[in-house]
């Protein structure tokens, strides 16, 4: 079928641009908040706990609703759900931009996550349904490069807008939403719909499971993974010691997701309408491709969470300069997108994924080798460019592999599952890398201070101050002659943290490369949902 497909029209390519810009919106909003958080704290006088929820509420809700969105996409049509997501995102961006206090800003961010969850899986389904053959690989290259570029551009945009007002970081979304909506309505036809209903209980179980997983991974470093010994206040609940709320959340998440899987399998056996067709996992390309997606998410975006801290507080970059340094990653990602067009006819998607993973790992190894307190900007840019080229190849084409054999009627579900795997991998990678980075920073700083003759108690206190501030106290330490040496030690420890983090990320991407060995090259003709294969036993 793909071999005789008609070449895509200009209208389809314009539609792809609109979809890619919609994806860019939601990814930028995941990353720019890190840069504008300081002015938000000053302007709204919010606590550190509230500031953390401004960052995390969006990501938690976003991850929680991805599977539900996939089913909605199949039932009501991908374009309709995509437009609904844009509407929600635009309204909640306005609410965030005018929020008079921290409570309403957090609520707006929660609801923004709903809009983001409606947009991402439907964007995949729209691309998958609109393009065929070689053009599908090219379209996914654009889609994937957009994600990598937007993740890098987010901090730059946030740093620039923060010079005017942090409110513009949300307000700028509103005209963009209007432009993207017009592009989708003009250039993408209405998507097909299927008859059916929503498994409400399954939706609640999947949302609870994925949301609790995201919460646990994000909050692990703050509250401890297993035991907490200090009193905590979390969402109005008091926690006075014992098992960590993170451990409780992860146990409850495992129980909810197991119950969800068993319910979906049981519904399928009874001829019901499950939220997720578990038979999709009998497709080797889908099952193994999602494993690779999870591994790629682990290794790709964790480094972006800690890299701006090193650039700003160890190398004394401004917020805008730190964002500008990450533009090299975006340029590399777009470069890969262009290269994919010419390679699509002769280089299989699986090979391009492997090329991307090798280049990503090479870029990270280079970053680890040059990390220091005096790293040259052009070497950092070169390493990030190489890394970005790898992101452009790997992120786009792993999606092409995952969805290659998914029946058209299950495209929404397949896209939702793949999006969930990507987001959970990213959340786990960020949790792992931030924990590793700050652990290395704390241990390295204490060791350096001890070698300099600083008493143990004072070294412990300084290590805690630097870590709790994420390094932002370093400039203040530099300004005092008595503590300037402490600031130098903190910069060296932070550089070591980036070095270790880069090597670990490279290792995770090597793991993803190994996982591609279990994917069969090429794809087979698409099959009807009833022919997907034997239903796997519930686990």
Residues 6+ apart with CB under 8 A from 253: 208, 209, 210, 211, 212, 213, 216
d(CA 211, CA 218): 11
3-class secondary-structure state, position 194? coil
Domain ranges of the chain: 9-198+275-444+495-521, 199-274
Sequential pLDDT tens for the chain (539 residues): 444 556 778 888 888 889 988 888 888 887 777 667 767 877 887 765 677 678 777 877 887 787 788 788 878 888 999 999 999 999 999 999 999 988 899 899 989 989 988 998 888 788 878 887 777 777 877 777 777 677 667 767 777 777 788 898 888 899 999 999 999 999 888 877 777 777 888 888 888 887 888 778 767 766 667 666 555 555 555 555 667 788 888 899 899 989 988 998 888 888 777 777 788 888 888 888 888 888 887 777 678 778 877 888 889 887 677 777 778 887 887 787 777 666 766 788 888 889 999 999 999 999 999 999 889 989 999 999 999 888 888 877 787 788 778 887 777 778 778 877 877 777 777 777 877 888 888 888 888 888 877 777 777 787 777 877 667 778 888 877 878 888 888 899 999 999 999 999 999 899 889 888 888 765 444 444 444 444 433 33
CATH class label, 9-198+275-444+495-521: mainly alpha
- Contact predicate 295/512, CB 8 Å: yes
Residue 101 in tokens: 């206090």
d(CA 202, CA 142): 33
- Contact predicate 212/253, CB 8 Å: yes
Only one residue has tokens 């539609």, namely 15
d(CA 287, CA 279): 10
470: nearest Cα among 132, 172, 37: 37
Helices 302-313, 484-515: inter-axial angle, 10-degree rounding: 160
Beta-bridge partners for 504: none
Beta-bridge partners for 233: 238
- Contact predicate 229/161, CB 8 Å: no
DSSP count for the chain of H helices, then E strands: 21, 4
- Any idea what DSSP says for residue 520? P
Helices 349-370, 284-300: inter-axial angle, 10-degree rounding: 20
Q: Compute and round to an integer the Cα radius of gyration of the chain.
A: 23
Query: Full-prediction pTM beyond 0.85?
Result: no
- Contact predicate 375/132, CB 8 Å: no
Reported for 459-465, long-range contacts at CB under 8 A and 24+ positions apart, including other chains, are 462/486, 462/490
**132 Cα distance to chain centroid:** 27
- Contact predicate 360/391, CB 8 Å: yes
Residue 85 in tokens: 């997501």
- Any idea what DSSP says for residue 372? S
d(CA 126, CA 411): 9
């Amino acid at each position: 079928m793909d071999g005789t497909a008609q070449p895509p029209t200009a209208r389809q390519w314009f539609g792809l641009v609109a979809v890619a810009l919609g994806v860019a919106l939601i990814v930028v909003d995941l990353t720019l908040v890190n840069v504008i958080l300081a002015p938000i704290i000053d302007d709204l006088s919010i606590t550190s706990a509230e500031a953390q929820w401004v960052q995390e509420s969006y990501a938690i809700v976003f991850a929680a609703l991805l599977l539900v969105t996939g089913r909605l996409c199949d039932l009501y049509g991908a374009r309709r759900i995509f437009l609904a997501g844009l509407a929600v995102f635009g309204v909640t961006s306005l609410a965030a931009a005018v929020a008079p206090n921290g409570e309403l800003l957090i609520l707006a961010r929660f609801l923004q996550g709903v809009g983001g969850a409606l947009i991402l899986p439907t964007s995949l389904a729209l691309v998958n349904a609109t393009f065929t053959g070689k053009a599908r690989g090219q379209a996914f290259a654009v889609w994937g490069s957009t994600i990598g570029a937007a993740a890098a551009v987010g901090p730059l945009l946030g740093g620039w807008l923060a010079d005017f007002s942090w409110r513009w970081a949300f307000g700028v979304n509103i005209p963009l939403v209007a432009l993207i909506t017009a592009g989708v309505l003009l250039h993408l036809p209405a998507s097909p719909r299927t008859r059916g209903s929503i498994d409400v209980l399954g939706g609640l179980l999947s949302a609870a499971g994925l949301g609790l997983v995201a919460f646990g991974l994000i909050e692990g470093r703050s509250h401890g993974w297993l035991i907490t010994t200090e009193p905590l206040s979390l969402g109005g609940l008091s926690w006075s010691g014992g098992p960590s709320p993170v451990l409780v959340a992860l146990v409850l998440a495992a129980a909810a997701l197991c119950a969800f899987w068993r319910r979906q399998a049981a519904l399928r056996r009874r001829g019901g309408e499950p939220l997720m067709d578990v038979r999709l996992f009998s497709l080797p390309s889908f099952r193994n491709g999602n494993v690779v997606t999870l591994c790629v998410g682990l290794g790709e975006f964790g480094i972006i969470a800690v890299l701006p801290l090193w650039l700003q507080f160890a190398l004394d970059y401004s917020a805008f300069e730190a964002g500008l340094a990450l533009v090299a990653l975006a340029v590399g990602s777009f470069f890969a997108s262009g290269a994919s067009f010419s390679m699509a006819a002769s280089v299989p998607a699986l090979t391009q994924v492997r090329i991307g993973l090798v280049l990503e790992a090479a870029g990270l190894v280079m970053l680890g080798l040059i990390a220091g307190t005096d790293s040259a900007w052009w070497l950092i840019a070169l390493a990030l460019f190489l890394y970005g080229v790898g992101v452009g190849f790997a992120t786009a084409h792993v999606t092409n592999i995952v969805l290659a054999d998914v029946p058209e009627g299950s495209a929404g579900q397949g896209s939702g599952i793949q999006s969930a795997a990507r987001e959970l991998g990213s959340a786990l990678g960020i949790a792992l890398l931030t924990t590793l980075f700050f652990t290395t920073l704390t241990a390295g700083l204490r060791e350096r201070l001890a070698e300099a003759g600083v008493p143990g108690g004072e070294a412990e206190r300084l290590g805690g101050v630097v870590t709790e501030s994420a390094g932002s106290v370093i400039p203040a330490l530099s300004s005092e002659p008595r503590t300037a040496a402490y600031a130098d030690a903190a910069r060296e420890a932070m550089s070591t943290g980036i070095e270790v983090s880069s090597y670990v990320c490279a290792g995770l991407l090597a793991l993803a490369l190994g996982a591609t060995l279990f994917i069969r090259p090429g794809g087979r003709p698409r099959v009807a949902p009833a022919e997907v294969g034997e239903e796997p036993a519930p686990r």
